[in-house]
């Protein structure tokens, strides 16, 4: 199954749609200047295990890279995905400070 990812800026999210146009999942974000914080990833239960999350993650990171944005991965799914994809490390902000 193929998914198409597009930015829906009025909703502050990227959406993955299947071939019929149904939303299979999305990543929400907050954009401030050239800094984009990805806050949440959600995949519709009907599409779990079909690569929607990874497709979204790669698409949002490629988009950030092409627009020369700095990424703050707040979303735990995306943060874990980035550990396995060091090719994006140059645009990701990491910190050792903990939020109390």
Model-level pTM? 0.91
Residue 87 forms part of a structural domain = yes
The structural domain count of the chain equals: 1
Residue 24 forms part of a structural domain = yes
Beta strands 4-8; 13-17: pairing state: antiparallel
* Predicted confidence band of residue 99 (pLDDT cuts 50, 70, 90): very low
Residue 16 forms part of a structural domain = yes
Residue 37 forms part of a structural domain = yes
Residue 11 has a pLDDT of: 97
pLDDT greater at residue 86 or residue 98: 86
Instruction: Provide the residue range defining the domain that includes 42.
Output: 4-91
CATH of residue 35: 3.40.630.30
Residue 100 forms part of a structural domain = no
pLDDT tens-digit map of 41-95: 999 999 999 999 999 999 999 999 999 999 999 999 999 999 999 999 999 997 6
């Amino acid at each position: 199954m193929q998914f198409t990812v597009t930015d829906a800026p009025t909703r502050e999210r990227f959406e993955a749609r299947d071939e019929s146009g149904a939303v299979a999942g999305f990543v929400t974000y907050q954009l401030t200047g050239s800094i984009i914080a990805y806050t949440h990833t959600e995949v519709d239960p009907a599409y779990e295990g079909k690569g929607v999350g990874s497709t979204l993650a790669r698409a949002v990171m490629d988009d950030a890279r092409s627009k020369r944005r700095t990424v703050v991965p707040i979303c735990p799914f995306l943060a874990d995905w980035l550990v396995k994809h060091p090719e994006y490390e140059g645009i990701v902000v990491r910190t050792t400070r903990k939020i109390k």
